Amino acid sequence: MSKYVNATSNKNNPTFYLNRGDFEFKPRVETVEGIKKGGVFEVEEMPKGMVVEIDPNNDMAVKPFKNGIPIGTLGTEPQGDIPREDRAAGEYEMQIAPVDIDGEIDWVQLEDTHALVKPGTYLAIDNDPTKYAIKSSATDVIALETRIENETGFLYVYRRGQTSKK
């Protein structure tokens, strides 16, 4: 799902998927331009400047900040198509938007042996100085993607507060 993310670590406005929840299609919506087709997302508005947090249920996705891990603010209004019929969250292509993050995006390697990693999982260097391990307490390196147990390789992370914005 990371086809939209701008993973260059010298940028602090990568593009994320937006979790807006379920969508209810309405064949007749009254607008200032007359009756049109449209609908309503569970999260009706995600305006530019809204504080967002890591969505623990979707890779490379954010949702409105409530009590999770805030990473920044939306840089624009949501971009992308809306469904043409009722759809539950996860049953349609999520919209996207750049996020002005309070840190940076990085690409790190996991230790060979690890439990399930989900977006929002805290990571840190442990035994191998070139690989990251899961930590139970808060760190400044936070997973943005899912990796199943013992799946090796790299994943995108958010480095809190380490911005390289000039």
* pLDDT of 142: 98
Residues 6+ apart with CB under 8 A from 120: 54, 56, 68, 69, 142, 143
Tell me the three state secondary structure of residue 35: strand
* pLDDT of 166: 33
Give me the residue label for tokens 């379920």.
22
Going from the first residue of the chain to its last (166 residues), give the mean pLDDT of each consecutive group of 10, the final group possibly shorter: 50 89 94 93 95 97 96 96 95 96 94 96 93 95 97 94 52
* pLDDT of 151: 94
- Which tokens sit at 86? 């009722």
* pLDDT of 28: 93
- Which tokens sit at 40? 């309503």
Residue 9: half-sphere exposure toward Cβ, Cα within 13 Å: 10
* pLDDT of 2: 45
